[in-house]
């Protein structure tokens, strides 16, 4: 994020935005970019209007356009009523909204957000998520950096996993979740299966292996929904008194941790 916003020079290689080298031509590369860093500094004794007016001049915006855009971005983020109140009186969520308003002031095509929901309560997280999705629908390109992978899966179309500065996985959310499909079904029965019934269960061709548990079995299979449905149908047809059948869910966080572990040789 710091390299892309020209706050840090790369030790090697280059960073490009829309084909423009950020470090060689920062002004040109960043004129289409708005950014919100993780912990944005604010001047607590200034109002949103005063601070955005200053940034409008930094962006070399027309003076008449500045006032119009201030009203537009503050209203779109639902903090228009606070335009002339001191920023020091804002809650964490409102400060995040103001940070996004600042990033949007010059009407950028690309928005870079670093941990935009950090420290927010559930309502604040949902509000910011809805705003980001709204920007997506308007055609804006958004680069979001976050350690909250549940939020990433709710918000993003594509994801890049980094470990110590290196890309370890990059794909669409859908494709990554397909790679991450769990291959275990937890099956529970009304009472322990007899040896004969357990053999019938094990004989189902789509089941790769079984692991006995206190009240049933962990069923290992190829991970596809179609196979899971067929296995369930066969168990029911055998009359094994099934009480629970749960293919384990696999989150983006699980995938990240398993991928990091695989790269480092850790189970």
pLDDT value of residue 266: 40
Write down how long the chain is.
267
CATH no., domain 181-249: 3.30.70
CA angle 172, 176, 182 (to 5 degrees): 155
Instruction: State in Å, rounded, how far the first CA of the chain is from the last one.
Output: 31
Give the neighbor-by-neighbor strand order of the sheet with 216-220: 209-213, 216-220, 184-189, 242-247
> In this structure, what token pair is assigned to residue 51?
């601070």
CATH top class, domain 32-156:
alpha beta
Buried-exposed string 158-185: b where 16+ CB fall within 10 A, e elsewhere: ebebeeeeeeebeeebeebbeebbbbeb
Instruction: Round to whole Å and give the CA distance between 77 and 74.
Output: 5
Output the pTM of the full model: 0.75
Phi and psi, residue 51, nearest 5°: -70, -40
Phi-psi region of 260 (alpha: psi -120 to 50; beta: other; left: phi over 0): alpha
Q: Indicate where the chain has its CATH 3.40.50.300 domain(s).
A: 32-156
Q: Assess contact for 36 and 103: CB atoms under 8 A.
A: yes
pLDDT value of residue 265: 47
Instruction: Round to whole Å and give the CA distance between 100 and 113.
Output: 8
> In this structure, what token pair is assigned to residue 225?
């929904």
Instruction: Round to whole Å and give the CA distance between 192 and 217.
Output: 10
pLDDT value of residue 261: 60
Closest to 113 in 3D by CA, of 20, 28, 37, 5: 37
pLDDT value of residue 262: 55
Instruction: Round to whole Å and give the CA distance between 152 and 160.
Output: 10
Residues of the chain with pLDDT under 70: 39-40, 180-182, 261-267
Element (H, E) at 37: none
Q: Indicate where the chain has its CATH 3.30.70 domain(s).
A: 181-249
Give the neighbor-by-neighbor strand order of the sheet with 110-114: 33-36, 110-114, 141-145
């Amino acid at each position: 994020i710091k390299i892309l916003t020209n706050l840090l020079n790369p030790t090697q290689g280059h960073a490009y935005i829309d084909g423009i080298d950020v470090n060689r031509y920062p002004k040109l590369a960043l004129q289409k970019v708005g950014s919100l860093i993780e912990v944005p500094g604010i001047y607590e004794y200034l109002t949103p209007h005063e601070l955005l007016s200053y940034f409008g001049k930094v962006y070399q915006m027309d003076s008449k356009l500045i006032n119009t855009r201030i009203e537009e971005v503050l209203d779109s983020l639902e903090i228009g009523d606070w335009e002339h109140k001191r920023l020091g009186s804002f809650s964490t969520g409102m400060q995040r909204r103001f940070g996004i308003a600042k990033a949007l002031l010059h009407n950028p095509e690309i928005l870079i957000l670093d941990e935009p929901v950090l420290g927010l309560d559930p309502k604040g997280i949902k509000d910011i998520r809805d705003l980001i999705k709204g920007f997506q629908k308007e055609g804006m390109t958004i680069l979001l950096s976050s350690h909250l992978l549940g939020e990433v899966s709710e918000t993003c179309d594509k994801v890049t996993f980094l470990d110590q500065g290196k890309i370890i996985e990059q794909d669409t959310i859908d494709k990554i979740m397909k790679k991450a499909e769990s291959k275990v079904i937890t099956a529970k029965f009304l009472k322990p299966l007899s040896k004969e019934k357990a053999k019938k269960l094990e004989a189902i061709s789509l089941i790769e292996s079984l692991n006995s548990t206190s009240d049933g079995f962990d069923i290992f299979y190829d991970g596809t929904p179609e196979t899971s449905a067929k296995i369930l149908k066969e168990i029911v047809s055998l009359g094994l008194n099934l009480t629970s059948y749960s293919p384990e869910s696999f989150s983006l966080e699980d995938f990240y941790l398993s991928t990091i572990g695989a790269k480092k040789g850790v189970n």
